[in-house]
């Protein structure tokens, strides 16, 4: 049985490393295999019984609004929140914390291309180890020094986390997809002005984060090289 939930999709980035592709288009609307990156995420959310998604916008936000207005309406509600100044990945969650209304929530960085099944992740979150209050998707990276690297115990609970380490101890990386409930939000709201989720939040919850490794491809669409790589994988069957 599918579980109903809400999601915050982080899509406001400037895409500086992806220039010149982002000179006139926001990164979330970059075309991959014939459709925008944002569309992959919206379809994934719809297919996993998401009831409502909130998308933050900033750079060339009018293009995102236009895309969403023209998109065929489906059961899932789509809302946007405009940030005049970028609030950071944790700051956006803090500002919109009431959006979740004590429901199961997902926080997703829309910078990544993947075809992972969110239903499987949600089910894993619901079966997480006792005393964990946040779940994180992980994957094996072929460039670990450009990722957040996790160290886990025998229950796959996070023991340590290093963001973009010069000498990574492993290739098990943070996919920047999280699941949580009210228990996590009650602790998160106590933090003092967190800005970046990886740098300001994860370290505070060591021992309370359940990790779940996906074997699906996951590519950070941050550079022209990674964008080209994603074009190859976009045509593979699910």
- Tens-digit pLDDT profile for residues 134-193: 999 999 998 898 899 999 999 999 999 999 999 999 999 999 999 999 999 999 999 999
CATH 3.40.190.10 fits 5-125+176-204+216-234, yes or no: no
What mean pLDDT comes out for the span 50-79? Answer: 95
Tens of pLDDT, residues 24-64? 899 999 999 999 999 999 999 999 999 999 999 999 999 99
- Three-state SS sequence of 146-203: HCEEEEECCCCEEEEEEECCCCCCCCEEEEEEEEECHHHHHHHCCCCCCCCHHHHCHH
Strands 134-140 and 172-180: antiparallel
Residue 86 has a pLDDT of 96
Residue 235 has a pLDDT of 60
Q: Which two tokens stand for residue 210?
A: 């359940």
Q: What is the mean pLDDT of the chain?
A: 93
Residue whose tokens read 């996951």:
218
Backbone angles phi, psi at 75, to 5 degrees: -65, -40
Domain extents for the chain? 5-125+176-204+216-234
Q: How far apart are CA 209 and CA 205, in angstroms?
A: 6
Residue 80 has pLDDT above 80, yes or no: yes
Of 206, 195, 210, 182, the closest CA to residue 123 belongs to 210
pLDDT band for 234, please (50, 70, 90 cuts).
low
What does the longest C-alpha to C-alpha distance in the chain come to?
47
Q: How far apart are CA 41 and CA 210, in angstroms?
A: 22
Residue 238 has pLDDT above 60, yes or no: no
Residue 1 has pLDDT above 60, yes or no: no
Provide the strand spans (E) within 25-171.
Answer: 31-32, 35-36, 50-57, 77-82, 105-109, 112-114, 134-140, 148-152, 158-163
Q: How far apart are CA 205 and CA 147, in angstroms?
A: 19
Of 23, 30, 7, the closest CA to residue 219 belongs to 30
Residue % of the chain over a pLDDT of 70: 97
pTM for the full model?
0.94
Residue 102 has a pLDDT of 83
What mean pLDDT comes out for the span 203-232? Answer: 90
pLDDT band for 68, please (50, 70, 90 cuts).
very high
Residue 20 has pLDDT above 90, yes or no: no
């Amino acid at each position: 049985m599918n579980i109903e939930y809400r999601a915050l999709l982080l899509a406001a980035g400037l895409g500086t490393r992806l220039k010149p592709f982002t000179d006139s288009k926001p990164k979330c609307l970059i075309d991959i295999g014939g459709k925008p990156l944002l569309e992959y995420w919206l379809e994934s959310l719809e297919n996993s019984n998401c009831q409502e998604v909130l998308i933050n916008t900033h750079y060339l936000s009018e293009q995102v609004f236009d895309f969403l207005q023209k998109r065929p309406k489906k059961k899932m509600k789509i809302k946007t929140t405009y940030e005049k100044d970028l609030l950071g990945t944790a700051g956006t969650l803090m500002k919109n914390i009431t959006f979740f209304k004590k429901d199961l929530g997902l926080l997703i960085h829309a910078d990544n291309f993947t075809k992972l099944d969110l239903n499987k992740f949600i089910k894993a979150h619901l079966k997480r180890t006792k005393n964990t209050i946040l779940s994180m998707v992980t994957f094996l990276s072929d460039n670990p020094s450009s990722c957040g690297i996790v160290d886990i115990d025998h229950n796959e609970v996070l023991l340590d986390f290093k963001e973009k380490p010069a000498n990574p101890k492993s290739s098990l990386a943070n996919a920047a997809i999280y699941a949580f409930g009210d228990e996590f939000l009650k602790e998160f709201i106590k933090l003092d002005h967190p800005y970046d989720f990886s740098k300001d939040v994860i370290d505070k919850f060591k021992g309370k984060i359940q990790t779940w490794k996906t074997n699906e491809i996951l590519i950070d669409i941050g550079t022209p090289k990674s964008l080209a790589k994603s074009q190859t994988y976009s045509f593979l069957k699910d």
